[in-house]
Amino acid sequence: MKVFRLILFVLHLGILFLLLGTLLNAYVPPKVFPWFNLLSLGFPLLMICYIILTIFWVFSWKKRAFVFIFAGLAFINPVKRWVNYSDKKENPGIKVVSFNTRAGGRGSTEIGPYLKSLDADVLLLQEDAGIVYKFDGYQKANPGGGLTILTKHKIIKQQIIDPQDENLRIPGLQVDIEINGKIYRFIDVYLNPFRFEKDMVKLNGNTDTNEQKIKDVVKRLIPTFKKHQEQVGLIHKVIENSPYPVILAGDFNSVPNSYEYYHLSDGLEDAFLTAGRGSATSFHDYKFPIRIDYVFSSKSVKAISYEVDRSVSISDHYPVIVKFSAENK
């Protein structure tokens, strides 16, 4: 029994250090050391294992349980980026929707009527592929790059965030919109995708095949992480230089606790942490909880409700619907 507990103790310590490694994404860019970003993909499973082992030590009446409980406090906010419970707030507000339509649902006729039914103030779409949505009373910003912003309100200015690098896709669309007499800068984000097929991440009983699949996945992940670093830098400059409050939303192709999350949220608030309830999982094509769609805002713009609409499956992403307080500050 002592040997078994020793093995569990060493395993628990190992998981703790791996979890701490995900926190380093706030400081270490992928071009320097991409493996911390890779760790962030496994954060949910690592956290579940950590909690189970901590419970084991509690019921074993071991003093080390208190050490692991105390160390686990460092992961309260990282966990809340996946699952959160906040008080509901009732208040008329600015309704914002972010939705990766998967190239218009690849021919789905349901997307247009669904988007119209939301009656949102601003719609930020990714992988739009130039699909034309004709909504009465909406203005459209669609300069290309698969990004589209639709709004009921007056567009003051629109501009793509151009990387000026043929190896990088356009990471964002910046649109300044006047709502109720106040101008907001909306940034629609779509970072480089990994282009995985389901078969690439589906393991089978063949050890050699599985090992090769894992190697192939890592070969795609690392270069894309490095591209994300450059794209994040470009977007962050637009945020820093904005004379208006910012609402940034889109498909980051990155999980919480990743380099992308830490640096795109720098100086902004995660609307899910402020107003979300339950799970923030937004990508449902794989049987694994993945949150890669986000809505952030300047601290002067408060989220009062946050919903991932799982009632529709017209894309491989669920729409994210956020309402912000309409009060001017």
Task: Return the pLDDT at 143.
Answer: 72
Last residue of one domain, picked from the residues 80, 99, 126: 80
pLDDT digits (tens, 9 = 90+) for 292-307: 999 999 999 999 999 9
Backbone angles phi, psi at 185, to 5 degrees: -100, 115
* 42 contacts 258 by C-beta, under 8 angstroms: no
**pLDDT band with cut points at 50, 70 and 90 for residue 88:** low
Backbone angles phi, psi at 139, to 5 degrees: -95, 155
CATH of the domain at 140: 3.60.10.10
Considering the domain architecture, whether residues 295 and 167 belong to the same structural domain is answered as: yes
Q: Evaluate if residue 118 carries a pLDDT over 80.
A: yes
pLDDT digits (tens, 9 = 90+) for 234-268: 999 999 999 999 999 999 999 999 999 999 999 99
Task: Return the pLDDT at 272.
Answer: 96
3-class secondary structure, 244: coil
Considering the domain architecture, whether residues 72 and 93 belong to the same structural domain is answered as: no
Considering the domain architecture, whether residues 181 and 272 belong to the same structural domain is answered as: yes
Considering the domain architecture, whether residues 38 and 136 belong to the same structural domain is answered as: no
pTM of the model: 0.88
Average pLDDT over residues 105-111: 70
Give the domain extent around 221.
Answer: 87-325
Considering the domain architecture, whether residues 11 and 70 belong to the same structural domain is answered as: yes
* 230 contacts 259 by C-beta, under 8 angstroms: no
pLDDT digits (tens, 9 = 90+) for 150-168: 999 999 999 999 888 877 8
Considering the domain architecture, whether residues 46 and 142 belong to the same structural domain is answered as: no
Question: What percentage of the chain exceeds 70 in pLDDT?
Answer: 88
Considering the domain architecture, whether residues 229 and 321 belong to the same structural domain is answered as: yes
Indicate the pairing of strand 154-161 with strand 172-179.
antiparallel
* 43 contacts 51 by C-beta, under 8 angstroms: no
Q: What is the DSSP letter of 290?
A: B
Q: 298: which strand partners?
A: 268
- Tokens at 272, concatenated: 């899910």
Task: Return the pLDDT at 299.
Answer: 93
What is the number of residues in the chain? Answer: 329
Task: Return the pLDDT at 289.
Answer: 73
The mean pLDDT value of the chain amounts to 88
Considering the domain architecture, whether residues 273 and 169 belong to the same structural domain is answered as: yes
Helix residue spans in 60-192 (DSSP H): 64-72, 76-80, 102-107, 111-118
**pLDDT band with cut points at 50, 70 and 90 for residue 142:** confident
The one-letter code for the residue type at 155 is I
* 257 contacts 22 by C-beta, under 8 angstroms: yes
The helix or strand, by DSSP H or E, that contains position 5, with its residue range, turns out to be helix 2-23
Task: Return the pLDDT at 288.
Answer: 73
Task: Return the pLDDT at 135.
Answer: 72
pLDDT digits (tens, 9 = 90+) for 62-73: 888 999 999 999
Number of separate domains in the chain: 2
pLDDT digits (tens, 9 = 90+) for 7-46: 899 999 999 999 999 999 999 999 999 989 988 989 999 9
User: Which residues contact residue 15 at a Cβ distance below 8 angstroms, ignoring those fewer than 6 apart?
Assistant: 46, 49, 50, 53
Considering the domain architecture, whether residues 6 and 93 belong to the same structural domain is answered as: no
